[in-house]
Amino acid sequence: MTHNPRSISVTGTGSAEAVPDLLTLSVGVECRRDTVAEAYGDAGTRSAAITSALRQHGVDGPDMSTSGLNVRAEVNWQEGRGQTVTGYLASSTLTIRIRTLSASSAIIAAAVAAGGDDVRLNGLTLGFSDSAGVEVRAREAAWQDARTTAAHYAALSGTGLGRVLSLTQHTGFQPPVPVAKMQRAVAAEALTVEAGESSVTATVGVVWELLD
């Protein structure tokens, strides 16, 4: 005969805050030209200039990655002529990880200056290069929240908490710190980037045995 002990199931949530030490920046290049070769060539030149400027400001190669390379025709509808090609657009996106936040404003300004009118800033996020320590504190807070709640209900029911029968957990970041997206960079002056604080949240589900 199987013994099924009385139990209580509780979900606990906890969070821990820390100052971010990693900024991830998305920089786009868009070149509109009369021919495919001009658009593609100028996009490559601009991208190389941005990469060079970033290296000069201490951004290492592993912290830069290019994606989204695209070349397409731009068309316009004209009555009686249908669609006509008005030019060609070459674009790419460079994702940059900046590990020295105090230098981020100067680095962003350098990228904008190097890219000129063809650069686009697609936004940035703040986070942690190593979140393990923050996650530990969040899990501890979630566990304490679950145990406090379970102990309260056990006391109300005139019982006590026994052994843990099961435990499940999920840990993740809260949404990144929002920063306004800019479709077109209009100046090369440095903007101040404030790190503030980011949170890691943990949720744990625990089932305790109830003792008489």
Same domain, 74 and 168: no
**pLDDT by position in tens, the chain (length 212):** 345 579 999 999 999 988 888 999 999 999 999 999 999 999 999 999 999 999 999 999 999 999 888 999 998 887 777 788 899 999 999 999 999 988 999 999 999 999 999 999 998 888 888 888 888 999 999 999 999 999 999 999 999 999 999 999 876 655 544 444 444 444 445 566 767 777 888 999 999 999 98
Same domain, 59 and 105: yes
Same domain, 5 and 77: no
Same domain, 110 and 155: no
The domain that holds 11 is classified in CATH as 3.30.110.170
Say if residues 201 and 135 touch (Cβ distance below 8 Å). Answer: no
Would residue 4 count as lying in a domain? yes
Q: Residue 90 is part of which domain span?
A: 24-127
Same domain, 62 and 38: yes
Same domain, 152 and 137: yes
Q: What integer pLDDT is reported at residue 174 of this predicted model?
A: 56
pTM: 0.70
Q: What integer pLDDT is reported at residue 173 of this predicted model?
A: 54
CA distance 146 to 154: 12
CA dist 106 → 70, 98, 151, 193 (Å): 28, 11, 53, 10
Closest to 115 (Cα-Cα) out of 70, 60, 54, 71 = 54
Residues 6+ apart with CB under 8 A from 104: 23, 25, 98, 193
Q: What integer pLDDT is reported at residue 190 of this predicted model?
A: 58
CA distance 27 to 130: 24
Same domain, 9 and 43: no
Would residue 190 count as lying in a domain? no
Say if residues 89 and 42 touch (Cβ distance below 8 Å). Answer: no
Long-range contacts of 131-135 (CB under 8 A, 24+ apart): 131/173, 131/200, 133/18, 134/16, 134/17, 134/18, 134/200, 135/16, 135/171, 135/200, 135/202
